[in-house]
Chains A and B, each alone.
Chain A
């Protein structure tokens, strides 16, 4: 848009400059020619009056000295052709014109090197002499080039100023548009705290204000939704308490355990919803975690349980430090969910492999593999309550949401060591 504005300004000012400067240049050229011709005519008439006063007989004595040996009268070539044909001053090569002037006509005629003025002078005895003064071509265009250059420079300066003003104007219009575009991008990335501050132009200020209102409304609705979800979840804890207390009173142990497990699952879902709403509340944009460091820390945390359960944890961290835009608590929760799933759903003694790698620019992968039986290939695997392993599947959901919050995803596959392979594909920030 900015380039287009500059282009329009360039075209418009160029056309205006050309339409004014070209005629002006022609006018200047014509004025210069007219000025020289007028001067030549004045010289010719002066010489003619002089001849008429002193008489044609005194050309050699009285008029001859005012014409130099090179045939110059003032700055111009001048010639006097007497009635007897003798020539004083510049050499002649246009006898026909002189002959025509002898007939009594005053006229102007183009000659080699310029334009000649012919003025006849009639003597007392009726004889006719002719005065000829030449306006040279270089004199008729003298100064024109300098004026043209000046006009050209003036035009260029005008165009440059117009382009500069248009560019500045364009920038002032583009800046708020850029700001709006950046804010829209940030909003798309989930930065709900994004606002724009546009003062002018008035039209874009209106758009900016509308954008801010829209974001506030979206934030308010999301906050409302989170609060409602949290409130509903907290309320659910009351009937769950009643259920839990009543289950404790069931005399049949098998029946009691079965219902108790079902209540456990409902509790997990309720707690998960509450944790998710808290996660959304505390989500701070720009907070980054050093993925390899957090993974190493969690491996150290789980390693001691692995030893107790005779599990081997193979650790492969190929990168030193990669930042992902995610709060450390969330990354820890996601990793614990994946690693905890292996401990919860595989037999003691089953090994794990945890790797951190950067398979492509801008991403870091955290893979948790196990040597167990693997997960079923079911598209509903990530849905809550559909883990296929008899659990709620919330662990996978936590890991998936965490990965997606960075712009990545969670993928599932078969591990090279026999069991399942879960990969958190996280968008990386920048290396530390």
Chain B
């Protein structure tokens, strides 16, 4: 059972996260301040730490540096600031990943699992194949049979995210958070337009979908048309 340390001063978030993660099979410990969190991390080995940046006693960046000093425990930072320079600063300070507030339980859970996959040396595939669609994750390119797809960086990320979850209806909120790394903010039409562009490049239409299937108001999923 993977262990998670949640360092969060907001009691409501701390409690809700602990309950949700515990319900999903994680062994959860919680700290309400930066120093308390560092102390726990020093005394106990955790598989991942979820760290809130806005702590009352110590600056979140300092806590992050202290955790890095203690060992190589993966740290996911929860921050309210989504500016690029802030994110770069976080990653440079040693964060393994970040999540922008407000986030959902599903989102933080997915991030924890992704970080665990990476750190537990799980074999990550170098490519994904769904029917004729082949996504080369290392080469950062996609092909439809022999035809190379001319995708933008965002379209490639969108396609990859959906391809990693074949047959799963992914909500626009999740796509905004995971692919765009932005708060939802009602930008669902942004997702729609990019899905349409992707669909066009995959050579299909909304009226006759093959790989990409959308459900208005719900989300989008990628399926193998041969199945």
Contact = CB atoms under 8 A, between A and B. Distances in A.
Interface of A: 234-235, 237-246, 248-249, 263-265, 267-268, 270-272, 275, 278, 301-302, 304-305, 307-310, 336, 340, 343-344, 348, 391-392, 394
Given A249-B19, A271-B183, A343-B189, A307 B196 contact: yes
Interface string B120-143: 000000000000000000000000
A344 B186 CA distance: 10
Helix, strand, loop or mixed for chain A's interface? helix
A234 B83 CA distance: 11
B145 interface: no
Nearest to B9: A238
Interface string B191-227: 0110011011000011100000000100000000000
A305 B197 CA distance: 7
A239 B106 contact: no
Contacts, number: 104
Among B190, B196, B199, B205, the most chain A Cβ lie within 10 Å of the Cβ of B196
Nearest to B13: A242
Contacts of B104: 244-245, 248
Q: Sort chain B's interface into a size bin.
A: 35 or more
B16 A304 contact: no
Contact of B186 (A235, A268, A304): A268
A250 to B, nearest CB: 11
Given A242-B10, A301-B193, A237 B16 contact: no
11 contacts: A238-B10, A238-B54, A240-B101, A245-B13, A267-B186, A268-B184, A304-B193, A305-B196, A308-B196, A343-B189, A343-B192
Contact of A246 (B12, B188, B192): B12
A325 to B, nearest CB: 25
Contacts of A391: 186
Contact of A238 (B101, B106, B196): B101
Nearest to B17: A245
Given A246-B16, A248-B106, A304-B197, A237 B186 contact: no
Give the one of A234, A304, A309 with max B CB within 10 A.
A304
Contacts of B188: 344
A235 B17 CA distance: 18
Given A238-B13, A267-B183, 15 more contacts: A237-B101, A241-B13, A241-B78, A243-B102, A244-B102, A244-B103, A244-B104, A245-B13, A248-B16, A248-B105, A263-B102, A278-B83, A304-B199, A343-B189, A343-B192
